[in-house]
Amino acid sequence: MTIAIRPAVPADLPLIASLIRALAAYEKLADAVRFDEATLGEKLFGKRPYAEVVIGELDGAAQGFALFFHNFSTFEGKPGIYLEDLFVRPEARGHGLGKALLAHLAALAVQRDCARLEWSVLDWNEPAIGFYRSLGARMMDEWTVMRVDGLALGELGAQAGNTHPIG
């Protein structure tokens, strides 16, 4: 099988949306998917893209994707790449596409002078954890992810008042 990794283009938006939904279903989080496809397209391909996507193909057929964005390490004084989503369709697994997607992101990180490539994984996803470890990734058990979203995000943001201009 021939593996190819390519940057996504706006015409890939329906494909990206379907892969996100497939990932959510695999992670048992289908009910959490609320995006509007047009808004997703604007955030990925508009005037100020917030994330990038690469498409993984096997023999010319799109079978997976990686969605990522830059973060920043103050300790390193350099950017990093944060992998938000990595997904390969179940029927396409075992051919090296997931590894190729991660290797592509690692090469981008090196090319862009990034200090690290990192991501989160669900603690029950033993196949993914084993796969990531086989590539040299290590668990960051001393860190816990924190999140503010929905109503709590709005309430916290409202506390900013008029004393701190938001630009």
Is 50 noted as a catalytic residue in this protein?
no
Task: Please list, in sequence order, all residues whose beta carbon lies within 8 angstroms of the beta carbon of residue 156, skipping any fewer than 6 positions away.
Answer: 148
Rounded to whole angstroms, the Cα distance separating 18 from 12 reads 10
* Euclidean distance between CA atoms 17 and 12, whole angstroms: 9
* Short-list 59, 114, 54, CA closest to 87: 54
3-class state of residue 85 by DSSP = strand
Q: Mapping DSSP to helix (H, G, I), strand (E, B) and coil, where does residue 163 land?
A: coil
Coil, strand or helix at 6 = strand
Angstrom distances, CA of residue 127 to CA of 10, 42, 104, 121: 32, 33, 21, 11
45: helix, strand or coil: helix
Catalytic residue among 26, 50, 82, 132: 132
Tell me the catalytic residues. Answer: 132
